[in-house]
Structure 1
């Protein structure tokens, strides 16, 4: 029973985040580390989809506590297993798998394919997803590996034996899927500059020619035009005269690991505000 001085504040739901990757998954790791902490409260990474079967990000997901479901949807494999299919069919299949994961938001964290209107139409609720293909996309036979260690059941995490940590569980999917599903992307450039691939290298070349002084990182909403969606967060990164490509990449990656978490939090706060109004 409540008194006149008590106010019941509803607990916001734990939001489900689906992450699309293609590589080592360092930005995915930043999201995993931040989920359900003050940096990304009431949120969990609940699905990881990779365009490459050897992406180390799959290992990060599968060895997380709790293990995160993953799948692989490789373009060449999909086209070879589905004769007559086009790139739009592939994007529709990616959208189907994303939709099946029942996300509240989708984060592109190093996804190396440009997504077409077909993908966006499905996630906006404007088009039905395709049926599952007769031959499902392949799953890797073994976990990708690299030199960076991943905590195991016997290795310590934050000073505590991993075996002593309480096993966690993923939040249940919502009963109803709400549309449109927000989609955000991380891009290592300032808005309107160096859209598309090799943005860091092109920014360094432009600096060396005296054309720019800085570069940056942004998190933006995903639209049909590549890297042209509404910027949610933008951080400038200084280019130094002594910078090599490797040095500039390292500094930009540090910013990426912060801004991708902050960008996801901005979208989740918008969702929670809309659901409470």
Structure 2
């Protein structure tokens, strides 16, 4: 079983999707070994504690440089013995050193169908605002490996979600979470931890 550490910054809804999937027996190859938050008081920490998962806070503001913060994140991942890392609403772009240390071992869930509405600055509600402004009729979510390009790593899974008349960014965000993100993330993590993606390059 692979040890998985989840990086969070906020409410932790995608973390909860993993916790629930584990409880349902849908993550037989993954152990949720730890949760690391970039913010004190993130509700995701409460979700982890309730599920009995160890937590650690590595606040971004405590580190003078990006390089120092990356070193701190690597140290936290090593303390938890991370085999794989999941970015679940982690509002910080990991530096090259972290990505290199965990090459093809970090996965991220993005609330759009990459390559649409992705890249620097495209996170949270910004993604759904952009989708509505552009007038797309279909959006969705993508789980992908993390590389040195924001949202640029190999796609693992995608799922489409319809945009409905009268959608607000908040309403669309919720539908994409429920119908795509929370479904895809556990599936993708199991694919990766079970070794089923080893042949994919």
State the TM-score, normalized to the length of structure 1: 0.66
4+ aligned runs moved over 2 Å, structure 1: 121-124, 271-274
Partner of 1:265: 190
> Offset at 1:266?
1.1
Q: 3-state SS of the aligned residue for 2:148?
A: coil
What is the alpha-carbon root mean square deviation over aligned residues?
1.8
- Of 37-46 and 111-120, deviating more is 37-46
Q: 3-state SS of the aligned residue for 1:61?
A: helix
Query: How many residues are treated as equivalent by the alignment?
Result: 193
Structure 1 alignment gaps of length 5 or more: 1-13, 80-85, 125-180
Distance of 1:115 and 1:272 partners within structure 2: 23
1:70-123 Cα offsets, whole Å, 9 max, x none, are: 1111111222xxxxxx21221121122112211221111110001110211233
1:87 is matched with which residue: 66, 85, 92? 66
Distance of 1:233 and 1:272 partners within structure 2: 11
Distance of 1:189 and 1:96 partners within structure 2: 31
Partner of 1:96: 75
Partner of 1:108: 87
Q: Identify the structure with the greater strand proportion.
A: 2
1:44 aligns with 2:40: no
Q: Higher relative contact order at CA 8 Å, sep ≥6: structure 1 or structure 2?
A: 2
Distance of 2:29 and 2:145 partners within structure 1: 21
Q: Is the 8 A contact 1:36 1:44 kept in 2?
A: no
Partner of 1:74: 59
Structure 2 alignment gaps of length 5 or more: none
1:130-150 Cα offsets, whole Å, 9 max, x none, are: xxxxxxxxxxxxxxxxxxxxx
> Offset at 1:271?
6.5
Q: Is the 8 A contact 1:21 1:110 kept in 2?
A: yes
Partner of 1:127: none
Summarize the alignment of residues 87-166 of structure 1 with structure 2, pairs less than 5 Å apart.
87-124=66-103
Q: 3-state SS of the aligned residue for 1:246?
A: helix
Partner of 2:12: 25
1:21-53 Cα offsets, whole Å, 9 max, x none, are: 011111101111111644211422110000111
State the TM-score, normalized to the length of structure 2: 0.89
Summarize the alignment of residues 216-255 of structure 1 with structure 2, pairs less than 5 Å apart.
216-254=140-178, 255=180
Distance of 1:39 and 1:122 partners within structure 2: 28
Distance of 1:224 and 1:188 partners within structure 2: 19
Q: 1:99 to 1:203 in 2, by over 3 A?
A: same
